[in-house]
Structure 1
Amino acid sequence: MPEGGFGYIAGGAGDEWTLRENRAAFERKQIMPRVLTGKGPVDLSSQILGISISSPVVICPMGGQGLAHATAEAGMAMGAAASNTIMALSTVSTLSMEQVATASSGPKWFQLYLQADDGVNRDLLRRAKAAGYRAIVLTVDSTATGNREADARNNFVFPLPFGNLVRKGTGGDIHALNAKFALNINPRSIEFVRNESGLPVIVKGISHPDDALLAINAGAAAIQVSNHGGRQLDGSPATFTVLPAIAKAVDRKVPIILDSGVRRGQDVFKALAFGADVVGLGRAAYYGLALGGWKGVRSVLELLNKELSMVMQLAGAQTVEDIKRTALV
């Protein structure tokens, strides 16, 4: 990939402390294996919001995937479908939601960056429902653009259009587009999205137990514990660090998805043992797309699932529910 595009994908905010901490947090906890349970072979199958998937790993929304491969989000959708999992499509995708909807028959969610203009929001939500998306992922941690210094150093401007949002004067300028995002997101925003879409709403960007409870009380169908892959507020804690407190507050009222920093099957296992129900994969899938289109995406998911199977077998966990009962030390 060109330097500017790679910097946009790989970089974090500010000094990138949170970006690094997302990985480091996983390394501070170890799996306590059980070796005499007699369990096996393992079963990775899972489900979320009524959708059955082959493993507890889904694809997170990521913008501008045309930076990685000519097939863009269509390739990502095909790779996810080939792996029998869910792909979430970003508002700022290269291809339109309609184009991606027809690229594969696999289940898809639509991620919404809430706009200041409710008319635009209504149009996006109605299009997503009409195109067959099965849930809305409402991102709530992007009321301001993170301090992406790599973009500034590279003078990065998107070389591609945005398939879902075309506005005069923005072109491919992600920062001009971000200026149109809503500056105030609260529980009423969740109610608006739920009512206008008629679809389950996953609230993404939660790092505090109180926000998780506010979201659930406003009608959220799931909580996504996320710090945007370290791309928004530098100095905020790793998602893995805050996960147990959020899981305790949620108390299984709704499913919990965790993203940010996941690179190995061991990370997936630890996240599930610490309170998540499903794990979201971001940059790793993006890099797979860059290297091999839909087959690259499939290969990344296959590798993670292979690692997860191995860890489950060695730790004495036959099912995803067994993982949730495994101790970390």
Structure 2
Amino acid sequence: MTSRRDFLIGGFGAAAAVTVAGRGGVAVAQNTAPAASQQGDIAAAPYVAGTAERSLDIINLFDLEAEAEKLIPRGPFGYISGGAGDQWTLKENVRAFDDWQILPRYLAGVETPDTQTELLGSKVGIPIFVPPMAAHGLAHASAEKGSSKGAGDAGALFCAQTLANTPLEEIAKADPGPKWFQLYYTKDAGVNRELMQRAKSTGCTAIVFTVDLEWAGNREADRRNGFAFPASLPFPNIPNAPTGVSLAELFQIFKRDLTFSDIDFIAKESGLPVVVKGPLTAENAKECIAHGAAAIEVSNHGGRQLDTVPAAIVALPGIVDAVGPDIPVFLDGGVRRGVHVFKALALGARAVAVGRPTLYSLALGGAPGVTSMLQTLTAELQLAMKLAGCAKVDDITRKFVT
């Protein structure tokens, strides 16, 4: 009988199947960084990420993490997969979806559900988008060019980020589809202004302002692994950005005393809608809207910042109710299933973000891998819509969950 592990290896292809023993007995795929990079010298050594370009046979998104761990060196994998402190919030982001149950409406006559929607004026094929995550080059040689193309090919919006390993202009060439730009607010107003204007010129239609990373969280995996961003993976969108440093060292270039006036600055200087990413309370979300935010992205940074804050899905309904029906609210955190997407939409989210699975699927298959992951999640959502009785995304309302 074929084992579950054998099936996964066959589904993901030879790159995941052929491994060699790295230092300390860690299994490393042959097309990833050399074994020396498994140790603390990864920042200085040239970083060699995988180059596989293939569609993936995915049973569910949970399987991706274990397969990606075989390909990504220990330090970078710990950075991508790990959370803060005891990782309670990281785990709760996923688990808390189980506290909501779906209430189907039968005899609704749904045969082909329509997943199309509109996000701040951009028409997209699915209510799922790729959120900002630093250094996609840790997962794959194509970096953000691969992840953005994979998202675009699946009909998803892509959020380009300040800490990309790829210039904004190259990300735009790889994916002509809808895009936003995430801003980490530097101490130099001129740099912030230039970043937003570059993003706007490359077709980004909104600015995502991340407000929960003024200080690096207690990420113990990074400390255990001695992780630092490889010097060979620069951050070209920020002038003179340091390389070969830890996250805490890197964040010394960013402003640490953010205030609501920074939202006003971003809105004025960019001329684009501002999505504030990070609020977890109704009061905080309303304050952001009062100071010029056009939308809220409910997020706890993937459980990577302040441990024991609420799961994103727990915070979502109260924020939706507080800001009212005219303010778009998005959810970022813990989405691994189509029923998770369904529940978030039912609780008022206009769309959901899928973070770590994007990087795992990028590592396993490049742009086609990301497309496969998003298509798998979309197929699960469509099945949930059929079985629950929802013909289109707007039909998914709170009456469908309890």
So what's the TM-score if we normalise by structure 2? 0.80
Does 1:144 find its partner at 2:215?
Answer: yes
Pairwise CA distance, 1:38: 2.6
Report 1:310-329 matches (<5 A): 310-329=383-402
Measure, in 2, the Cα distance between the counterparts of 1:177 and 1:108.
25
**Which letter does structure 1 place at the counterpart of 2:223?**
A
Gaps spanning 5+ residues in structure 2: where? 1-71
SS, match of residue 297 in structure 1: helix
Measure, in 1, the Cα distance between the counterparts of 2:131 and 2:175.
17
Measure, in 2, the Cα distance between the counterparts of 1:54 and 1:294.
17
In structure 2, what is the equivalent of residue 66 of structure 1?
137
Pairwise CA distance, 1:41: 2.4
Q: In the alignment, which of 349, 370, 377 is matched to residue 276 of structure 1?
A: 349
Pairwise CA distance, 1:216: 1.1
1:187-242 alpha-carbon deviations (Å, 9 max, x no partner):
21101001111111111111011111111111211110000000111010001001
**Which letter does structure 2 place at the counterpart of 1:327?**
F
Measure, in 2, the Cα distance between the counterparts of 1:132 and 1:52.
14
Measure, in 2, the Cα distance between the counterparts of 1:85 and 1:241.
25
Does 1:208 find its partner at 2:281?
Answer: yes
SS, match of residue 99 in structure 1: helix
Deviates further, 95-104 or 142-151: 95-104
Gaps spanning 5+ residues in structure 1: where? none
Pairwise CA distance, 1:277: 0.9
Does 1:77 find its partner at 2:148?
Answer: yes
Name segments (4+ residues, structure 1) moved above 6 Å. none
Report 1:182-261 matches (<5 A): 182-261=255-334
**Which letter does structure 1 place at the counterpart of 2:344?**
A
Sequence identity percentage: 49
CA contact (8 A) 1:162 1:172 kept: no
CA contact (8 A) 2:347 2:398 kept: no
Deviates further, 244-253 or 36-45: 36-45
Q: Figure out how many residues of one structure are paired with residues of the other and give that number.
A: 328
1:140-173 alpha-carbon deviations (Å, 9 max, x no partner):
11111111110000000111211212426x2232
Q: CA RMSD in A?
A: 1.2
CA contact (8 A) 2:129 2:157 kept: yes
**Which letter does structure 2 place at the counterpart of 1:71?**
S
Task: Give 1 or 2 for the bigger CA radius of gyration.
Answer: 2
Pairwise CA distance, 1:22: 0.4
In structure 2, what is the equivalent of residue 11 of structure 1?
82
**Which letter does structure 2 place at the counterpart of 1:172?**
G
In structure 1, what is the equivalent of residue 159 of structure 2?
88
